[in-house]
Amino acid sequence: MNGLLSSIDSPADLRRLARPQLRPLADELREFLVQSVARTGGHFSSNLGTVELTVALHYVFDTPHDRLVWDVGHQTYPHKILTGRRERMHTLRQLGGISGFPVRSESEYDAFGTAHSSTSISAALGMALAAQAKGERRRAVAVIGDGAMTAGMAFEALNNAGVTKAPLLVVLNDNDMSISPPVGALNRYLAQLMSGRFYAAARSVGRQVLSVAPPLLEFARRFEEHAKGMVVPATLFEKFGFNYIGPIDGHDLESLVPTLENIRRLLDDGAGPQFLHVVTKKGQGYKLAEADPITYHGPGKFDPQVGVVPPAQPPKPTFSAVFGQWLCDMAERDKRLIGITPAMREGSGMVEFHRRFPDRYYDVGIAEQHAVTFAAGLACEGLKPVVAIYSTFLQRAYDQAIHDVALQNLPVVFALDRAGIVGADGPTHCGAYDIPFLRCIPNVAIACPSDEAECYQLLTTAYEQSHPVAVRYPRGAGVGAALPREPQALPYGRGEVRRRGRGVAILAFGTLLHPALQAAEALGATVANMRWAKPLDRDLVLALARDHEALVTVEEGAIAGGAGAAVMELLAAEGVVRPVLPLGLPDRFIEHGDPALLLARLGLDAAGIERSVRDRFGAHLVARPVLEVVHPAA
Ligand SMILES: Cc1ncc(C[n+]2csc(CCOP(=O)(O)OP(=O)(O)O)c2C)c(N)n1
Ligand SMILES: CC(=O)[C@@H](O)[C@H](O)COP(=O)(O)O
Ligand SMILES: [Mg+2]
């Protein structure tokens, strides 16, 4: 790193630079970013695309006094580097290190915590109107991507903002990409806005006039009207009550800075909400990422000279890949199957399904609520929808799951990926709550496969039911259990005893069965693979309670309201008095970091489970050899 970047410890330093210094600074920043993310892994192509925008926003606006809200926040690495966290970038997304998203407690420049998309306009509007209410002179800026813009919540916010005089700027960072190629009518509309004569005309006129315009509201207004009148009818965003400016080149600091300066004046003159459409390239400046922004959306570590290299040996299939395989196999057998993803085709393992069954594949954009109600509509007509959705993103569609699916008892399968610890993304993405929030909904069943084969089979069981069923599985690979040759159901609502011991019985829900089995070796305990958090295998729970002095439940989900709570409710309802130790995620948000390390810290690895059981139930443990091992783990 040479001179410029190392001298920037805050945006105040940046604002001391002369305008011609911004271009070399941006180049240094991009180079630093490439080297840094290559060492840590993390979101890459989106950050390469926001380098100039970040420099320009901090240069023109008075951050942190002016509020800058980044939608999703996966593109905030340049912002982190310029706001005093350059020296901590090597700790990005690691245990104890800085987050990959904006976090209010991490920096005063992180005006709002984000990671789930499409919240920025609402939050920035709240901040802008709060400033007005308190008589403070402050602007608020939301930066939102074209993918994030597809969510209903973004439009709810536009709808509200457009009838206010809020000092709010919405910057649409349009790189014509979500994680995958963008979908839907909005994308088509944005492409139209950028195409042909309008883009060329608006850009050249905008550059010429916006950069030299006197800071007079009326003049700026007249120019805007004139330019638009000449070229296109009012844009959608104007219909929503915003002053629309753009599209402009989001990598051209010579356009960005003067345009933002003029917008800042408009805000200060009380012109109300402004909408700036900037065009950027995902992966800008790193050729491999420009060519393949999907691979470089969130890569692991890589050599920046070489790029991302596929592993020499094919890795163990992830649970997402197992789901993708099952989806294709089942789609071949049943023409009624429809696969739905809210903008997570790659992460959910649906690339192959999309390729083979394009007419039965729906990427609905970042629209979890719509995805669930859309599935409900399909199910009403006798089709068999499978909604592949991350546990954390289903939180968005809770009412739709209750009101549209469960209340009408519709056979929708929820393939709940990323259930449990997710690792580097941290608390915003942790799949901690799905068992508690689904368990209390009538008609909904929840399966918790312990390995890949069981995942495949339980998806089949779920698909055969005539009511909603969620199958929850974690990020990454499991123990590597070989898949059955074809879809074959496991019994609905039934668990199994995997190891018979004495004194203490461990009831495992999901993949933590395997550390539980290891712990049980040392403890001489019984272990049951419960498979279903709902319905509980009542007979199995009661038999285990009868035959043991104490029970332990283990799950990779919140203890509060989780599967262990279900076991305790059953025992209480049956009047069975047995001590129960519930192990799982505690009542706090789980930080980012390596998943194995986090599980160990939470006492959810084999050693931790053994330790907790000894601490609590040492007296009940029987120091005798194991009586019987049933179905040894694969
Ligand atoms: C509610 C929600 N659904 C899905 C995601 C996963 N997700 C993160 S970034 C992203 C794509 C966003 O596209 P865009 O806003 O255009 O930003 P870009 O990646 O192009 O920079 C998606 C789908 C999310 N973070 N939040
Ligand atoms: C920012 C965001 O929400 C996604 O990019 C997410 O980080 C993807 O997570 P996975 O890597 O688990 O698919
Ligand atoms: Mg985008």
Ligand 1 atom closest to the Cα of residue 146 is 16
- Is the Cβ atom of 85 under 6 angstroms away from ligand 2? no
Instruction: Note the pLDDT of residue 233.
Output: 66
Instruction: Note the pLDDT of residue 631.
Output: 54
Question: Which of 45, 116, 179 is the best mutation target for the ligand 2 pocket, counting ligand atoms within 8 Å of the beta carbon and taking the most?
Answer: 179
Topology of the domain covering 319-472 = Rossmann fold (3.40.50)
Instruction: Identify the three-state secondary structure at position 245.
Output: strand
pTM for the predicted model, two decimal places: 0.94
175 is in an annotated binding site: yes
User: 28, 52, 224, 368: which is the annotated catalytic residue?
Assistant: 368
Judged on CB neighbours under 10 Å (0-12, 13-18, 19+), 500 is: middle
Instruction: Identify the three-state secondary structure at position 383.
Output: coil
Give the residue from 174, 104, 484 showing the smallest Cα distance to 326: 484
281 catalytic per annotation: no
CATH code for the domain defined by 4-291: 3.40.50.970
148 is in an annotated binding site: yes
What average pLDDT values come out for the chain (634 residues) when binned by 10 residues?
Answer: 88 98 98 98 98 98 98 98 98 98 98 98 98 97 98 98 98 97 94 66 46 39 44 81 95 97 97 97 98 97 96 91 98 98 98 98 98 98 98 98 98 98 98 98 98 98 98 97 90 98 97 98 97 98 98 98 98 97 98 98 98 91 54 44
CATH entry 2.40.50.140 includes domain 496-620: no
Ligand 1 atom closest to the Cα of residue 49 is 21
CATH 3.40.50.920 domain extents, the chain: 496-620
Token pair 């920035």 is found at 124
**How far is residue 465 from each of residues 284, 452, 460, 490, 491, measured CA to CA in Å?**
48, 20, 9, 12, 11
- Is the Cβ atom of 72 under 6 angstroms away from ligand 2? yes
User: 85, 384, 396, 499: which is the annotated catalytic residue?
Assistant: 396
Ligand 1 atom closest to the Cα of residue 344 is 23
Instruction: Note the pLDDT of residue 530.
Output: 98
Instruction: Note the pLDDT of residue 219.
Output: 38
Write down the mean pLDDT value for the chain.
93
Instruction: Note the pLDDT of residue 3.
Output: 86
- Is the Cβ atom of 349 under 6 angstroms away from ligand 2? no
- Is the Cβ atom of 72 under 6 angstroms away from ligand 1? yes
Ligand 2 atom closest to the Cα of residue 297 is 5
The Cβ of residue 455 has, within 10 Å, a number of other Cβ atoms equal to 29
Instruction: Note the pLDDT of residue 591.
Output: 97
Instruction: Output the CA 425–ligand 2 centroid distance in Å.
Output: 7
396 catalytic per annotation: yes
Instruction: Output the CA 173–ligand 3 centroid distance in Å.
Output: 7
Instruction: Output the CA 469–ligand 1 centroid distance in Å.
Output: 26
Residue 499, C-beta contacts closer than 8 angstroms, at least 6 positions apart: 517, 520, 525, 526, 527, 626, 628, 629, 630
Instruction: Note the pLDDT of residue 260.
Output: 97
The Cβ of residue 269 has, within 10 Å, a number of other Cβ atoms equal to 15
Give the closest ligand to the alpha carbon of residue 174. 3
Measured CA to CA, the distance from residue 378 to residue 368 in angstroms comes to 15
CATH 3.40.50.970 domain extents, the chain: 4-291, 319-472
